[in-house]
Amino acid sequence: MNLKEEKSVAAIVYYEDEYLLLKYGLGHWEFVKGHIEPGETEEETIMRELKEETGIDNAKIVNGFNEDYEYYFKFKGQKIHKRVSCYLIKSNTKNVNISFEHEGFKWLTIDKAIEQVTYDNAKELLQKAKKFRSSTLESFL
């Protein structure tokens, strides 16, 4: 079986002390995420995906937080190796208008978000975001 390689970008989105999680059609809870389109930077991709998936366009990428993770899955019999670059985004609104790609959303405190996300790599990313925010002045801005 051939292995297909994919690259995506994801974002941990927060507003004040709450974090946005999306419920995907397969039932898992995770972050805003999407494929990079030709000619886009990772940053352009994640801001586009944020607007498409949540309607949020009043947000900014937080400097200094960029974590990579990877996983494998099967889709239509094809084994896929996905590499994901994850950013931290500060939203200036909690108003969400989810796209057809998702079944729901929640704003949760960091500890509740860590409990809610489905996959261990997402839990680890939220722990890193929690540590990052508590160790920088960013959380006071």
pLDDT confidence of residue 54:
97
Average pLDDT over residues 64-69: 94
Distances (CA, A) of 5 to 38, 43, 103: 16, 20, 27
Number of domains, the chain = 1
Burial-class residue 17 by CB neighbours within 10 Å (0-12, 13-18, 19+).
Answer: exposed
Per residue in 70-127, pLDDT (tens digit) is 888 888 888 999 999 999 999 999 999 999 989 999 999 999 999 999 999 999 999 9
Cα 113 to Cα 127: distance, rounded to the nearest angstrom: 10
Q: How many CB atoms lie within 10 A of CB 113?
A: 24
> Quick check: 61 and 43 in contact, CB under 8 A?
yes
Residue found by looking up tokens 């805003």 in the block:
32
Domain extent at residue 11:
3-140
CATH code: domain of residue 55 = 3.90.79.10
